[in-house]
Amino acid sequence: CICNGLPYEKIDQEGLKTTALEMFFSGYSRIVGMEYFPNLTTLTLIGQSIQNITDLEHCLLLKELWIAECCLVKIDGLQKCVHLEKLYLYCNEISRIENLESLTKLNVLWLNNNMIKNIEGLHTLQNLQEVNLAGNLIEKIGSCLDFNIQIEILNLSGNKLSSFKELTSLSRLPNLKDLGLNDPQYGPNPVCLLSNYAIHVLYHTPQLQRFDTYDVSEKHIKILVETTVLKKIMYYHMRVKSVHRQLRDRLEELKESKCRLQNLPEKKIKLFSCNIKHLERELAKLEMLDKTSRNESPRSKDLETENSVHDTEDTEKACLEKAFIQKINAMKERITFWNRKLDEIEKDYQMEIKKKKKSFNLVVQFLLMELETVGNVRFEEGLSNHPWFSSCCELIQSRFCTWDFRAYGIMGVKINRIFRVHNQILRLKFEEKFQTFLEKEVFRVAENHKEKMDYLFYVFNPKLPVKEKQLLHILEDGFQDLEVYTQSEKNEAVPLCNSLSICECPRIKFLKQQAKAEGKNKRDPDESFRHGTVIIAKVFLGCSAPVRAASPICQSNYPEANSVFRPWKFLGSDTSTSSNGLWASLEQKSCDCSSWQCEWFVFDHELVLPEYIAEFEYITLVKDKSLFSTCNVIVEEGKRSTEIFILSHDLQRDDDVLNMEPTVKVRPKIAYLDEKALFSVAKVNIYNQVQVLNLHGNSLSQLQNISNLKALRKLIISFNEFTSLMDVYDLPNLEYFDASHNHVITLEGIRGLTKLQFFNLSWNRLKKSWEVIKILYEHAPNLLSLDITHNPWYKPASLRLSVIGQLKALTNLNGVMITNEEAAEALRYIAGSNITQASLLKYSRTDEERPPILSVFSCATILSQISKNKLDSQMYHNNWYSMITVLNLDGQHLFKISNLEKLEHLRWASFSNNNLTQIEGLDSCLNLEELTLDENCISTLDGISKLTKLTRLSVNNNHLTSLEIHVFENLCHLHYVSVENNRITSLVGLKKTCSLIELYISNNCVSTNQEMYHLKGLINLIILDMSGNAIVWKQDNYRLFVLFHLPSLKALDGIRVEPTEGESARDLFGGKLTSDMIADRLGHSNFTEMQELNWATSNIR
């Protein structure tokens, strides 16, 4: 009362009038007497000894409360102060944010300089505008502030925030204007010491006006940040594309190896198939002769003698028919054998593809992590000339004991690749903890602290595969918050070891047991134990102690230790009985490795710094059974092969079957089918009498007049030279058609086969499944059996469902019966291949702005993954179409783009990995800025010429052959074009795209150096990728040639352009008059018509 000028004796009357009370530095230990001040709106208590908030339930009108620099340990007693607008509880000992849920009117909250570790309990305070949590122990932000979107001022300085990922969550506060992370009054967060810290924050929160007490409202600051980030995104996008290109090259090499491996089996299958058809033709001929002879009436008078002769002939024919059938069956068995070999090759091939993709995807993830952390986490792949690479290899080899692995037939270890991890975030934590430890133990540890530093292997759970997500988590965030540290015990420490045996033998044993339980045979190539991954960490062991038996490994049981260890020789007694066999088998070792092999457990994860990740494979007694191993190559002649694939007796068996009786005489091949040849083969004289026509094994490429055979029921043209079947039309009675083993590339021309039930198109060169399906759907509606195996289809993965879903009468496809379940699945597949209202609602978003995210992916991909702005058709009725700005229909099996007429405000769209053959249906989407059409079958870009706002276009992995001028001439905002892996031969269409900055056109068919002249006017072009085009190896000094004509380039074919390269290019090509330069100026290369050549003042040397 004295401090606030109130007479104590009149407190009853004066208290009702009082709206504000304050008290400073008076040792006040407890809040009392508040019932006398029911109308209090402001209460200020500074520098008191208050530990708990009490007696405020009487102050229901309180709007502003200060309890600062007191000894407050808990937030409580404010539940009834629902009108509170400002709350200042700074400089106390509060460890948790709690009991504030009812204060929904709160605008200002100061909890700085406390002991708070987590941001929590604020989700109901949606009117918060100013929050001060500086000077606490907060390590994470996460989604804790997502509901507080009204926050304008936020101070988190002086905390433990160390990751850029945590700062990214602040981008979800749209009204944030003032942010403090490194306020001089409180000090910095660890993250503030990282490179590009300010760039990262300002890019993700562009609406900021003040940042770390500095004014950042100027426009030039925003432009500088955006430009810097754009350059980084472009750089990493280029590097990711380079990795994808390298992957494609490796897959092409694999494909070539596969083709070499398939060569012999395919030759054998073709040989046996051809011979079977020869035999079947002769057998049919024999049966026809037998039927004819039986129909002829006997003319001999001696019936008994005649019958005897017939019986003898019948017996001989029966024996001959039996011999034919036996030989046919024997050949079919050989075909089955060689088909199994093809299946083995395909299985190994798919496994190798999976390995390669996994390996290269890890590199891509490393690059994405570099980008997301703005270079504060970097990965360096080791080369043989790097000293650290050699040191790592020596470390792994020195910690490999052959004796330990002998039970598994492992003789050595081969290092495949090693990455060095430069994690500035974790390194700062490690050095800080290490320095703190030295300061505490300065006299005792100063001399031997280096001895306590070691490089150890991280021990993964042997019963769980090492997933990429887990690996990346460790390399970025360290060994914190991992769900599984150990195998059988719930230890509270990071498990490590100094021996490859300790971290690998349990894994190998588990995989062996698992394979045995699953019944995998020895031929199964899935021997995953052969390949391993190990993380090598720099570890400070500090004060160590041996593990005590039957005592859980946790800090509370070893209060004086920083780490504990368990020597190898004690592992046998400490492990479960299930693994005793392993350790028992290693007890009688002839080496002394067990004397130093040890398992370690470090309690503080910040003292374990991941520095290297190594991928290796074991050298075993039994060779790798993969057919794609370098030691498993089939000799081209096919007479000698590796024993695991083809044995000599298999080849001998083929010869024996081919030489079986009966043999068939070789017929002369028919090269041209005229009327005489046709009647000769069919054994008739009139067209209408031909019902079966077997033209197998000839040299035919055309079937003239075949449409005259209106009675034809069966047609066989296998093993000929047909490239098309355009002569086969209007055959109303044709039921059976075998066109296998030809060179058919299209079914165009086929029509009128209404009764066709069996169609064999195997072993041809068909590629366009949609074209084949359409023709068969229209002209062979009653088809029951179809064989389209061994064709180079563009989209083989989805082929079976596409065929079954559209040719509904089919009962057998590729020799496999179609089940009801498969037919139903196919119908669902086809139904989902159309753009419907449901699919638009599911795969669209309504975001107005591109999210500030450091990513190389398309905007449509990013927003479809992170945005919550989905549509509800019931809420918006008919207006919802116009609200869509994002559409991601990747992998939806689309055959055409349709039903987008109402999407007038669509800005970002992706239709990758579909079955599109042309670009259509986008004429109304005139606001489209970004369009992605990768992994389709598009052959022309007609359909985008009206999209004048387009800035990014990606049409990788399609069938483009040219870039037309009329398509690009109006796309004046286009700054990014990617058309990799097509068949483009000319760049003339890009001649007028002056805004172009990035052009990716690798793996196409650009071959002449004149194409470079079409790009000379693109003064903004800074990234060009032409790798994989013929010009790269046809043009002498290709790189310097390109740099001379395109001096603005900063990167070419994924490699940065050095300043010296520009000088070398000018020295080499400057001042030289060449035919290409003349052709560029004239616009043609017909020099014979040239009458005048004027190159005055052109610096010709």
> How would DSSP label each residue in 946-979?
T-TT--EEE--SS------HHHHTT-TT--EEE-
Alpha-carbon gap, residue 385 to 702, rounded angstroms: 62
Higher pLDDT, 489 or 164: 164
pLDDT digits over 776-820, tens only?
A: 999 999 999 999 999 999 989 989 999 999 999 999 999 999 999
First vs last Cα of the chain: how many Å apart?
99
pLDDT digits over 914-973, tens only?
A: 999 999 999 999 999 999 999 999 999 999 999 999 999 999 999 999 999 999 999 999
Q: Cβ atoms within 10 A of the Cβ of 1018, count?
A: 22
Q: Which range in 171-180, 663-672, 875-884 is most confidently predicted, on average pLDDT? A: 171-180
DSSP-assigned letter for residue 58: G
Alpha-helical runs (H) found in 373-487? 387-398, 402-405, 424-440, 442-445, 468-477
Residue 760: partners with Cβ closer than 8 Å, 6 or more residues away = 718, 737, 738, 739, 740, 786, 787
pLDDT score at 1050: 96
Q: Are 818 and 812 in contact (CB under 8 A)?
A: yes
Q: Are 980 and 956 in contact (CB under 8 A)?
A: yes
Distance of CA 781 to the CA centre of its chain: 40
Q: Cβ atoms within 10 A of the Cβ of 650, count?
A: 15
Which CATH code, of 3.80.10.10, 3.30.70.980, 3.40.50.280, 3.40.30.10, is assigned to 675-821?
Answer: 3.80.10.10
Q: Could you tell me which residues are beta bridge partners of residue 567? A: 598
Checking 330-336 for CB contacts under 8 A at 24+ apart, the result is: 330/657, 330/660, 331/272, 331/275, 331/276, 331/279, 331/657, 332/272, 332/276, 333/657, 334/268, 334/272, 334/653, 334/654, 334/657, 335/268, 335/269, 335/272, 335/273, 335/276
**Does the pLDDT at position 570 exceed 60?**
no
**Does the pLDDT at position 87 exceed 60?**
yes
Q: What is the 3-state secondary structure (H, E, C) of 561-580?
A: CCEEEEEHHHHHHHCCHHHH
Alpha-carbon gap, residue 273 to 738, rounded angstroms: 12
Q: Is the peptide bond before 462 cis (omega within 30 degrees of 0)?
A: no
What mean pLDDT do residues 658-670 have? 88
**Does the pLDDT at position 524 exceed 60?**
no
Q: Kindly state the tokens that stand for 547.
A: 């593990």
Its sign, for the CA torsion 261, 262, 265, 270, is negative
pLDDT score at 525: 40
Output the average pLDDT for the chain: 87
Alpha-carbon gap, residue 322 to 326, rounded angstroms: 6
Higher pLDDT, 153 or 525: 153
pLDDT score at 663: 86
pLDDT score at 1069: 82
**Does the pLDDT at position 632 exceed 80?**
no
675-821: same fold as 376-504+524-566+598-620? no
Its sign, for the CA torsion 367, 372, 375, 378, is negative
Checking 548-551 for CB contacts under 8 A at 24+ apart, the result is: 549/573, 549/574
Alpha-carbon gap, residue 671 to 721, rounded angstroms: 9
Residue 221: partners with Cβ closer than 8 Å, 6 or more residues away = 202
Q: Could you tell me which residues are beta bridge partners of residue 22? A: 44
Q: Are 723 and 745 in contact (CB under 8 A)?
A: yes
**Nearest 10 degrees: Cα torsion 911, 472, 488, 620:** 90
- Confidence grade of residue 397 (pLDDT, cut at 50, 70, 90): very high
pLDDT score at 14: 73
Residue 538: enclosing H or E segment and its boundaries? strand 531-540
Q: Which range in 299-303, 521-525, 750-754 is most confidently predicted, on average pLDDT? A: 750-754
**Does the pLDDT at position 10 exceed 60?**
yes
Higher pLDDT, 583 or 138: 138
Strands (E), 250-376: none
- Among 744, 807, 742, smallest CA distance to 773 is for 807
Q: Cβ atoms within 10 A of the Cβ of 340, count?
A: 11
- Among 1049, 1046, 968, smallest CA distance to 1009 is for 1046
Residue 853 zone, left/alpha/beta (φ > 0; ψ -120 to 50; rest): beta
Alpha-carbon gap, residue 977 to 974, rounded angstroms: 8
User: What is the bridge-based pairing of β-strands 494-497 and 210-211?
Assistant: unpaired
Place of tokens 């100026």: 1081
Alpha-carbon gap, residue 1043 to 1040, rounded angstroms: 5
Alpha-carbon gap, residue 370 to 854, rounded angstroms: 10
The phi, psi pair for 641, rounded to 5°, reads: -145, 165
- Confidence grade of residue 635 (pLDDT, cut at 50, 70, 90): very low
Residue 814: partners with Cβ closer than 8 Å, 6 or more residues away = 762, 786, 787, 788, 789, 800
- Among 974, 986, 802, smallest CA distance to 893 is for 802
pLDDT digits over 64-82, tens only?
A: 999 999 989 999 999 999 9
DSSP characters over 729-753? B--TT--EEE--SS---B-TT-B--
**Nearest 10 degrees: Cα torsion 880, 883, 884, 886:** -150
Q: Which range in 148-157, 159-168, 672-681 is most confidently predicted, on average pLDDT? A: 148-157
What mean pLDDT do residues 859-877 have? 84
Alpha-carbon gap, residue 1002 to 560, rounded angstroms: 61
Alpha-carbon gap, residue 70 to 55, rounded angstroms: 17
- Confidence grade of residue 7 (pLDDT, cut at 50, 70, 90): low
Percentage of the residues of the chain whose pLDDT score is greater than 90: 64
What mean pLDDT do residues 517-521 have? 67
Alpha-carbon gap, residue 1075 to 1081, rounded angstroms: 10
- Among 122, 74, 56, 67, smallest CA distance to 89 is for 67
**Does the pLDDT at position 433 exceed 80?**
yes
Domain ranges of the chain: 8-227, 228-293+313-364, 376-504+524-566+598-620, 675-821, 832-941
731 burial level (CB within 10 Å; 0-12, 13-18, 19+) = buried
pLDDT score at 1095: 72
Alpha-carbon gap, residue 247 to 420, rounded angstroms: 21
Alpha-helical runs (H) found in 373-416? 387-398, 402-405
pLDDT score at 198: 95
Higher pLDDT, 877 or 316: 316
- Confidence grade of residue 685 (pLDDT, cut at 50, 70, 90): confident
Q: Quote the pTM value.
A: 0.88
pLDDT digits over 331-372, tens only?
A: 999 999 999 999 999 999 999 999 999 999 999 999 999 999
**Does the pLDDT at position 297 exceed 70?**
no
**Does the pLDDT at position 189 exceed 50?**
yes
Q: Are 1046 and 1011 in contact (CB under 8 A)?
A: no
The CATH topology of domain 376-504+524-566+598-620 is Phosphoenolpyruvate Carboxykinase; domain 3 (3.90.228)
Q: How far is CA 1075 from CA 877, 952, 1093, in A?
A: 65, 35, 12
Alpha-carbon gap, residue 102 to 81, rounded angstroms: 8
pLDDT digits over 820-848, tens only?
A: 999 999 999 998 899 999 999 999 999 99
pLDDT score at 305: 58
What mean pLDDT do residues 457-472 have? 89
Residue 649: partners with Cβ closer than 8 Å, 6 or more residues away = none
What mean pLDDT do residues 261-271 have? 94
> What is the CB-side half-sphere exposure of residue 780 using CA atoms within 13 A?
28
Residue 701: partners with Cβ closer than 8 Å, 6 or more residues away = 720, 721, 722, 723
State whether residue 143 is helix, strand or coil.
coil
The CATH topology of domain 8-227 is 3.80.10
Q: Are 858 and 866 in contact (CB under 8 A)?
A: no
Q: Amino acid identity of 667?
A: R
pLDDT digits over 1039-1067, tens only?
A: 999 999 999 999 999 999 999 998 999 88
Alpha-carbon gap, residue 994 to 877, rounded angstroms: 43
**Does the pLDDT at position 293 exceed 90?**
no
- Lowest-confidence pick of 375-384, 472-481, 756-765, 898-907: 472-481
- Confidence grade of residue 589 (pLDDT, cut at 50, 70, 90): low
Alpha-carbon gap, residue 332 to 337, rounded angstroms: 9
pLDDT score at 484: 46
DSSP characters over 1014-1040? GGTT-TT--EEE-TTSHHHHHSTTHHH
pLDDT score at 803: 96
pLDDT score at 333: 95
Q: Amino acid identity of 405?
A: F
DSSP-assigned letter for residue 724: B
pLDDT score at 624: 58
